Amino acid sequence: MAKAAATMHGQRTPCQHCPLRSLPHFREFERDELNFISGFKKGELLVDAGATIFLEGAHSAHLFTILSGWGFRYKTLEDGRRQILNYVMPGDLIGLQGSIMGEMQHSTEALSPISLCVFERTELMTLYNSHPPLAFDLTWIASREERILDEHLLSVGRRSAVERAAYLIAYLHQRARALHLFNSSKVIPITQQHVADTLGLSVVHTNKTLKKLAARKLLLWQERGCEVLDGDGLAELAGWDGLDSGKRPFI
């Protein structure tokens, strides 16, 4: 199932030349902050599509920032039922929950090949001591995740199947677009099984639901993913206001 290949490198991209920092989506950093983070970064990690980055129950010594690629966080029940909680994309810090509170209570898997910046959990407290604005950013990052989960919960709990699907695709589209991820592929690299497990639906019903959206010319389902034709139309159908457009911090 999961090809668990992972390769560790020494530091390749220095934070000062991080390709993500030039995106208008992220806030600017002080030189001092940048230097600190560069020292905080221990190296880079490459994982294959399908690889598990974190497993529920683990106590990881590391946390990561996604440099490139797509992945998702999920939880499972004992009998195998799976719920996808959220998707991770470049600039996202993963493993913070586990680093702050101890044990990881969800798993994280790669949807595409992913490259990661590696940080060490034990050095987190140094960050809090020496760089209060970065500490604030960490709380900001956790609050943002909370906010997104609020919206997902509203979606799964109260939106109809069509609305839910429309919301999910609109959400992924907005995030990916802000990160300029559609320069090469234009396709969101998920299967209908992923959509089903995110929306709390069966694959069969998900398939029929996506067909309805395709019939309305809102999206197109390709091999290995989804192409968005009308992101605003999807958001409107879902009754969703869209994401914050302001700049956000990242570590």
Partner DNA sequence: CGTGTGGTTGAACAATGTCAAGCTCTGTGG
Partner DNA sequence: CCACAGAGCTTGACATTGTTCAACCACACG
d(Cα 154, Cα 67) in Å, to the nearest integer?
Answer: 30
Q: Which of 203, 227, 233, 243 binds DNA (CB under 7 A)?
A: 203
For the chain, first and last CA: distance in Å? 32
Q: Does 217 bind DNA (CB under 7 A)?
A: no
- The two beta strands, 219-222 and 225-228, are antiparallel
225: left (phi over 0), alpha (psi -120 to 50) or beta: left
Q: Which does residue 182 bind out of its own copies, DNA, none, counting CB within 5 to 8 angstroms by kind? A: none
* Residues 6+ positions from 112 with CB-CB distance below 8 Å: 49, 69, 70, 71, 189
Neighbour tally for 121: CB within 10 Å: 17
Q: Which does residue 150 bind out of its own copies, DNA, none, counting CB within 5 to 8 angstroms by kind? A: its own copies
Residues 127-186 that bind its own copies (CB under 8 A): 128-129, 132-133, 135-136, 138-140, 142-147, 149-154, 156-159
Task: In angstroms, give the least distance from the CB of 105 to DNA.
Answer: 24
d(Cα 172, Cα 92) in Å, to the nearest integer?
Answer: 14
Q: Does 17 bind its own copies (CB under 8 A)?
A: no
Q: Does 24 bind its own copies (CB under 8 A)?
A: no
Residue number with CB closer to DNA (140 or 221): 221
For residue 245, the one-letter residue type is: S
Query: Burial, 148: exposed, middle or buried (Cβ in 10 Å; 0-12, 13-18, 19+)?
Result: middle
Residue number with CB closer to its own copies (181 or 210): 210
- Positions touching DNA (CB under 7 A) are 160-162, 191-193, 200-211, 221, 223-224
- Positions touching its own copies (CB under 8 A) are 73, 75, 77-79, 81-83, 85, 96-97, 100-102, 105-106, 125, 128-129, 132-133, 135-136, 138-140, 142-147, 149-154, 156-159, 197-200, 239, 244, 246
